[in-house]
Structure 1
Amino acid sequence: MADWRDWALKACLFFLSRFPLVNAVTLLMVIGATAIREEDSPLPPKLVYGHVIVQVVCGMAYQLKWKRKEVSLILCGQMLHLAYVALTYPKLQYSDWLRVKIASRLLGPVGVYLYFADLLNKTSSKQLRKSSEAILGTYLVCISYLLLNSSDDKNGLKAHLPGGDWALYVIVGMLGACSVALFSGMYLRDACYLTIGLITLYSVFIEGDIDFWTKRRRVPYWVHIRLILDNVCVIVGLIFMRLMHGRKMKID
């Protein structure tokens, strides 16, 4: 009977190889829902179609097992460009805190796919792996910053978890400790497990209350779904990283 970890690795690979296709669908839903309320699309059609095509091609390349290392790097660049667009494009009628949240949340999947690209290398690249850890650390710093400085995120946490400010400071402190571990390369095993638990807690109990965010905080529905899916990608990616640590399994 196959080791349960092999089955878990295959499940993680199944999700990560199809995440670009999920991204393509949700991006179209975000733009479509926005265009209904406005005279035209908030983003140029060529830009939207370009991103969707890149995501679909990347997803298909994963299925065909074609140049997956290069595809992973292209996908990272595409997500970084989306983050830049979320921060800077003037026709996106989002508040500043939501722009920062969308952009910073995209850093999580970027860190995951950089690590994935390293695993697909014939020889391990220390530079890719360190870049992956640094970007994931930055992703955690951004979550901590928003929890401390955004009234929406702060009130969202307090509304869903007991403990008030104490719960906020404990969670931010643990996120900070995880980010330091990722930046330094020390205690990575413990940092990954703690991050998995914290992001799961945050996604399920805080961001999982979709009505709270979409109706009371006025976050567009499909934007919020994308934020949750980015967190899920990080959770799956960190599980994958820990399962692959020290293993010789070939990624087929």
Structure 2
Amino acid sequence: MAAATSKKAMRFLSQFGAFILTRFGFWNSFSMLMLFAERADVKRKPDIQVPYLYADLAATVLCASFMSFGVKRRWFALVSAIHLALSTYVTYASGQVHYGDWLKVRMYSRAMAIIGGYLVLASGAGEVYRQKLRTRSLQSTGQVFLGIYLICMVYTLQHSKEDRLAYLDHIPGGEITIQLLVVVFGVLALSYLSGYYVRVASQILAVLLPLVVLFIDGNIGYWHHTRRVEFWNQLKLIGQNVGIFGAVLILATDG
């Protein structure tokens, strides 16, 4: 009885993770539109030139719609990963908006993690009734992207004054706790990169990420007013971490 209940709980969490990740594209598109509207008020350019921007948004919404309805979910998850990779590269290469180095790490590392999440989804992980064998190579590649994201978290905790202050203001223990988090995130990154104990690492990360979203990312006043991160850019970053949480839930229950 207990085993059956545990199995149902795992299945529910896996479905919940897939629900979050497949619908991430809707929030990403909405937050981007609101961000560029916010910039229009102060006559700042969007990250991508306008004609390409609408094509990018349309592709994102189309892929998210098909994934949400379960239509060729693996295929559209793979397309979403490729599309997001291209979109991130174009954003970085365009040079229309200049970000601080610490903010670039936050933005692009999370985009990489979402790409990894889509690859995990494209592998067949998180499917309730799996009719095809899981593609382990795609899952392993997705785990590597998540590992790189965790390495970036370690880097920011060590070298980014902005991120360190955000953590110091909201966690007890000060510098000792930050160094403990550096060790924890570093070990989790090694797990994802090596492919060993991925489920256990994901279960630990599934506990830590909501706390990061709530207490660190959720401190919008700090990021917006003190660090001058645009309001909708910060909400976009929050949405990305929620999407990463969805990918982690899938790996924690069906990794």
The total of aligned residue pairs comes to 245
Percent same amino acid at aligned positions?
Answer: 26
Distance 1:41 1:190 in 2: 40
SS of the residue corresponding to residue 167 of structure 1 reads helix
Distance 1:4 1:162 in 2: 32
1:186 aligns with 2:196: yes
Structure 1 residues 51, 167: CA separation in 2 closer, same or farther (over 3 Å shift)? same
Displacement of 1:182 in angstroms is 0.8
Distance 2:120 2:113 in 1: 11
Displacement of 1:240 in angstroms is 2.0
* Deviates further, 64-73 or 43-52: 64-73
1:25 aligns with 2:25: no
Distance 1:23 1:239 in 2: 19
Structure 1 residues 42, 235: CA separation in 2 closer, same or farther (over 3 Å shift)? closer
Confirm or deny: 8 A CA contact 1:199 1:231 kept in the other structure: yes
Structure 1 residues 85, 102: CA separation in 2 closer, same or farther (over 3 Å shift)? farther
Q: Which residue of 2 aligns with 1:112?
A: 117
Structure 1 residues 243, 55: CA separation in 2 closer, same or farther (over 3 Å shift)? same
Displacement of 1:118 in angstroms is 0.5
Structure 1 residues 4, 93: CA separation in 2 closer, same or farther (over 3 Å shift)? same
SS of the residue corresponding to residue 160 of structure 1 reads coil
Q: Which residue of 2 aligns with 1:77?
A: 82
Distance 1:46 1:191 in 2: 41
For normalisation by structure 2, the TM-score amounts to 0.88
Confirm or deny: 8 A CA contact 2:74 2:123 kept in the other structure: yes
Q: What letter matches 1:157 in structure 2?
A: Y
Structure 1 residues 7, 184: CA separation in 2 closer, same or farther (over 3 Å shift)? closer
1:96 aligns with 2:106: no
Superposed, 1:8-47 pairs within 5 Å as 8-38=13-43, 40-47=45-52
Superposed, 1:203-218 pairs within 5 Å as 203-218=213-228
Distance 2:213 2:69 in 1: 32
Distance 2:159 2:46 in 1: 31
Q: Which of structures 1 and 2 has the larger relative contact order (alpha carbons within 8 angstroms, sep 6+)?
A: 2
Distance 1:160 1:126 in 2: 38
Q: Please provide the CA RMSD for this pair.
A: 2.0
Distance 1:8 1:105 in 2: 22
For normalisation by structure 1, the TM-score amounts to 0.89
Confirm or deny: 8 A CA contact 2:17 2:248 kept in the other structure: no
Unaligned residue ranges in structure 2 (runs of 5+): none
Confirm or deny: 8 A CA contact 1:34 1:42 kept in the other structure: no
Q: What letter matches 1:13 in structure 2?
A: A
Confirm or deny: 8 A CA contact 1:76 1:110 kept in the other structure: yes
CA offsets per residue over residues 5-38 of structure 1, 9 Å max, x none? 4433333333222211121111111111112211
Confirm or deny: 8 A CA contact 1:87 1:100 kept in the other structure: no
Which of 227, 230, 246 aligns to 2:237? It is 227
CA offsets per residue over residues 71-125 of structure 1, 9 Å max, x none? 1111111222233234333221322221222111111211111111001782222
CA offsets per residue over residues 139-195 of structure 1, 9 Å max, x none? 100111112111111111111112221111110110000000111111222211221
Q: Which residue of 2 aligns with 1:249?
A: none
1:60 aligns with 2:65: yes
Displacement of 1:221 in angstroms is 0.8
Displacement of 1:126 in angstroms is 2.1
Superposed, 1:103-252 pairs within 5 Å as 103-119=108-124, 122-245=132-255
